[in-house]
Amino acid sequence: MPDRLEGLFDAHHERLHRLAQRLSRDAEGARDLVQETFLRAARRVDSVPEGRSGEEAWLVRVLVNLCRDQRRRQRVRGRLEALPDDHPDGASSPEQSAVARATVRQALAQLSPRRRAVVVMYELEEKSVEEIARLLGIARVTVRWHLAAARRHLAEILRGQGTTRTRTS
């Protein structure tokens, strides 16, 4: 069993970490998500399907579910923060990219974990609707519905940012 788990870890940890970074609020949260996902796999290694695509789908679903649990806990604690309204002007490039990352993270954090996963996989990982449906174990129509809703939400955020920038500049 440790061999199977080692194989799972080696094959999927990078991909899961990328997804976790896009789904979680910070780097530490992403690492915790990945580790917890593999710990779940370690405890239930017999229920992980054989084959790379089956393994990937199982791990992605566990990660998204963990993300949902995390969000639920954060909601209970009232830790969801609002988007920052202002961004520092004239910042240097690394700072600008750090701010951009934080903005995207916070924008994504406003979406439910499953919706976030759908939009991240579609827009950033460039996966097809069919592939996303398979990975998350949901219907294609549900993927499209999440995608449309996420785009509407992100468009509103972008509009808000545009007005803020216009106001501040």
User: Residues in the site for another protein, rule: CB under 8 A?
Assistant: 1-2, 5-6, 9, 13-14, 17-19, 21-22, 27, 30-31, 34-35, 38-39, 41-43, 45-46, 97, 99-105, 107-108, 119-120, 123-124, 148, 151-152, 154-155, 158
The C-alpha atoms of residue 40 and residue 78 are separated, in whole angstroms, by 27
Least distance to another protein from the beta carbon of 128, Å?
A: 15
Least CB distance to another protein at residue 134 (A):
21
Rg (CA), the chain: 18
Tell me how far CA of residue 49 lies from CA of 57, 124, 131, 140, in angstroms: 9, 26, 17, 22
**In this complex, which beta carbon is closest to another protein, that of residue 76 or of residue 144?**
144
- Nearer Cβ to another protein (137/162): 162
As measured in angstroms, the least distance from the Cβ of 68 to another protein is: 18
- Distance, CA of 128 to chain centre: 16
Task: Indicate the residue type of 4.
Answer: R
In angstroms, what is the minimal distance from the CB of 56 to another protein?
16
Ramachandran quadrant class, 138 (left: phi over 0; alpha: psi -120 to 50; beta: rest): beta
